[in-house]
């Protein structure tokens, strides 16, 4: 057996991270089994977030942290009861309040691993707004972690382009205009304008399925893994 070249401490730390990654994957899979729509949504948000970071020239290790956070940003929904999470109609104000707990729940799940501390913070703050009127902490402007600001834009794009039983999806152009008009209000103006300017490269390649019973059944047969490797079709800075 060849020596690994790593100290016992490093090997133990690596084993712990791998084990924690497996635990996170199990939670993602459990959420996917309950709500395939959330799993597919997270994949698309992760794809757009990663493309945004690559085009912005963010270093690979930082881009991959944003990618992972985007992929698991809704992991806290595992703690939301089915009657709210799977409701196929408009939520009541009380139900909205319960659903708004998912960033905190996600943070609690992820913050157990120190190596994922940055990812956990992005998950906690992905529903903050640039103007400070978001949740759960009411952070404003650059108080919000960069990755969370990227995820906020990508999350909104996917929500607007996907169809729900209680509303129609927006067209690509209407969605882009909505992002642009909320730059500096809901979204980091620099990130929002950049995504709008690079729309064809960031949003264009993503397939946005329509949400119906047939799609729901198909998604339920898919298996989504927590991403840990860079995509080969995205160019990153050295």
Tens digits of residue pLDDT in 33-64: 888 888 889 989 999 999 999 999 999 989 98
83 domain residue, yes or no:
yes
**From CA 182, how far away is CA 195, in angstroms rounded?**
13
Torsion angles phi and psi, residue 187, rounded to 5: -120, 155
Range of the domain at 89: 38-219
Packed helices 189-197 and 36-56: angle between N→C axes, nearest 10 degrees: 90
Looking at the 3D structure of the chain, how many domains does it have? 1
Q: What is the CATH number of the domain that holds 183?
A: 1.10.3210.10
7 domain residue, yes or no:
no
Question: What tens digit of pLDDT does each residue of 215-226 get?
Answer: 444 444 444 444
207 domain residue, yes or no:
yes
132 domain residue, yes or no:
yes
Do residues 1 and 86 lie in contact, with contact meaning Cβ atoms separated by under 8 Å? no
226 domain residue, yes or no:
no
Confidence class of residue 212 from pLDDT cuts 50, 70 and 90? very low
81 domain residue, yes or no:
yes
Cβ neighbours for 200, distance < 8 A, ≥ 6 positions apart: none
159 domain residue, yes or no:
yes
Q: Which of 15-29, 89-103, 110-124 shows the lowest mean pLDDT across its residues?
A: 15-29
12 domain residue, yes or no:
no
Indicate yes or no: pTM above 0.75: yes
């Amino acid at each position: 057996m060849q020596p690994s070249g790593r100290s016992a401490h490093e090997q133990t730390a690596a084993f712990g991270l791998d084990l924690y990654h497996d635990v996170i994957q199990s939670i993602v899979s459990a959420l996917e089994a309950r709500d395939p729509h959330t799993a597919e949504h997270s994949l698309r948000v992760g794809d757009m977030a990663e493309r945004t970071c690559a085009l912005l020239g963010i270093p690979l290790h930082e881009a991959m942290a944003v990618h992972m956070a985007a992929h698991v940003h809704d992991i806290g929904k595992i703690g939301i009861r089915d009657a709210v999470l799977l409701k196929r109609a408009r939520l009541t104000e009380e139900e909205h309040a319960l659903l708004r707990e998912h960033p905190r729940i996600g943070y609690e799940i992820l913050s157990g691993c120190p190596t994922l501390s940055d990812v956990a913070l992005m998950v906690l703050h992905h529903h903050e707004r640039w103007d400070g009127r978001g949740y759960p902490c009411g952070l404003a402007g650059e108080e919000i972690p960069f990755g969370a600001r990227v995820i906020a834009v990508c999350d909104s794009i996917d929500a607007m382009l996907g169809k729900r039983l209680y509303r129609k999806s927006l067209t690509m152009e209407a969605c882009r205009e909505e992002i642009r008009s909320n730059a500096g209000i809901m979204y980091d103006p620099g990130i929002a304008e950049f995504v709008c300017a690079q729309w064809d490269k960031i949003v264009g390649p993503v397939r946005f399925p329509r949400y119906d019973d047939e799609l729901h059944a198909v998604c339920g047969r898919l298996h989504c893994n927590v991403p840990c490797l860079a995509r080969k079709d995205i160019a990153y800075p050295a």
